[in-house]
A = this chain, B = another copy of it.
Amino acid sequence: MPDLTAWFAAGRREVDEALDRHLAARAAAVMPPARASGPGVSGDAEDVVQEAMRYSLLGGGKRLRPLLALLTGEALGAGRDLCLPYACALEMVHTYSLIHDDLPAMDNDDLRRGRPTCHKVYGEATAILAGDALLTRAFEILGEAYVELPAPRLARTLQAFAGALGARGMVGGQSRDLAAEGKAIGLEELQRIHAGKTGALIRVSLEGVALLAGAPEPAVRRLAEYGDLLGLAFQIKDDLLDIEATAEQLGKTPGKDVAAQKATYPRIVGIDATRTLLRETVDRAAALAADLPGDRDRFVQLAHWVADRGA
């Protein structure tokens, strides 16, 4: 699949540049400008949070969610002005969730994207705040980018996007995941964990662009369904990679799931059944691709890429 790989590389550059821009573009400051002299803390306290945001956001990463948004935009014939800001919001929110999940009170992880985690570099307080600020900035970007969009597209996107992040989505999944540590859980509960923890955001990476573009309801729904399968395949593969890959490949500590007695597909159904499940999920996603708008081959390739990736 050379063309998808090339498309990914180009898209990743576009996303990285846009992320850099969206972080540099400071929202209207609500505080008066800092004075160069006089007593007081230097302007740095605020800057430290912004530096921590940049550190975690711009420190590599697959950019899967933004790429899904761009790909959906192309499939719907929408321009970059429509999907690139949303793509950035997705990556900011994904990064916020990584920063908070890595905290000592949560998964207590030292390594992320091949570098020390945010709290290891900046301390816990700044890491919590950097996560909060990235989550907030994601919504601010939606407000900045979609001023011209006819109602009710922004409202509907906001519902889907925020819904994917909340107590019934990403936050709920992380909470379930923490509660399941060291316990024997079944396949069903594992799937609920993943549907919330990673699935919801991957689904809304496609669904949100369809809502922004004002796509017809059936197209929105099919893209969301395809996104669900893609998210499931992504997570199954992640569990396999935790066993098979090295730290260098992963950019995070491998074997961590096993060590933390995390519930994973291999642990619950065994490695062979996990591989079979991955194949089946990819096949279902590829089959769904026939009903998607735009270039169906690209969506087929994408499903295979998720399962075949090395990290």
Q: Would you call A172 and B46 a contact (CB within 8 A)?
A: yes
For A64, the chain B residues whose CB sits under 8 A away are: none
- B-contacting 9-mer, from A14-22, A27-35, A244-252: A27-35
Per-residue CB proximity of A112-156 to B under 8 Å, as 1/0?
A: 000000000001111011011101110110111011111110111
Copies per assembly: 2
A200 and B29 alpha carbons, distance in the complex (Å): 10
Q: Would you call A132 and B168 a contact (CB within 8 A)?
A: no
For A262, the chain B residues whose CB sits under 8 A away are: none
Of B49, B139, B176, which one neighbours A172 at CB under 8 angstroms? B49
Q: Beyond A125-B105, A156-B147, A162-B139, is A186–B30 a contact (Cβ under 8 Å)?
A: no
- Interface flag for A253 (CB, 8 Å): no
Question: Can you list 30 A-B pairs, Cβ within 8 angstroms, ordered by A?
Answer: A27-B163, A27-B168, A31-B168, A31-B169, A31-B195, A38-B188, A39-B189, A40-B189, A41-B179, A41-B185, A41-B189, A45-B172, A46-B172, A49-B172, A49-B175, A100-B132, A103-B128, A105-B125, A106-B128, A126-B175, A129-B175, A132-B132, A137-B162, A142-B155, A142-B158, A143-B159, A147-B151, A147-B155, A151-B151, A154-B158
Q: Would you call B44 and A179 a contact (CB within 8 A)?
A: yes
In order of increasing CB-CB distance, the 3 nearest A-B pairs are A143-B158, A40-B189, A140-B162
Q: Would you call A155 and B146 a contact (CB within 8 A)?
A: yes
Query: What's the least CB distance linking A160 to chain B, in Å?
Result: 8
For A139, the chain B residues whose CB sits under 8 A away are: 139, 158, 161-162
- Interface flag for A59 (CB, 8 Å): no
Query: What's the least CB distance linking A186 to chain B, in Å?
Result: 4
- Interface flag for A309 (CB, 8 Å): no
Q: Would you call B133 and A105 a contact (CB within 8 A)?
A: no
Q: Would you call B27 and A166 a contact (CB within 8 A)?
A: yes
Query: What's the least CB distance linking A180 to chain B, in Å?
Result: 5
- Interface flag for A269 (CB, 8 Å): no
Q: Would you call A175 and B140 a contact (CB within 8 A)?
A: no
Of B31, B123, B166, which one neighbours A136 at CB under 8 angstroms? B166
- Interface flag for A292 (CB, 8 Å): no
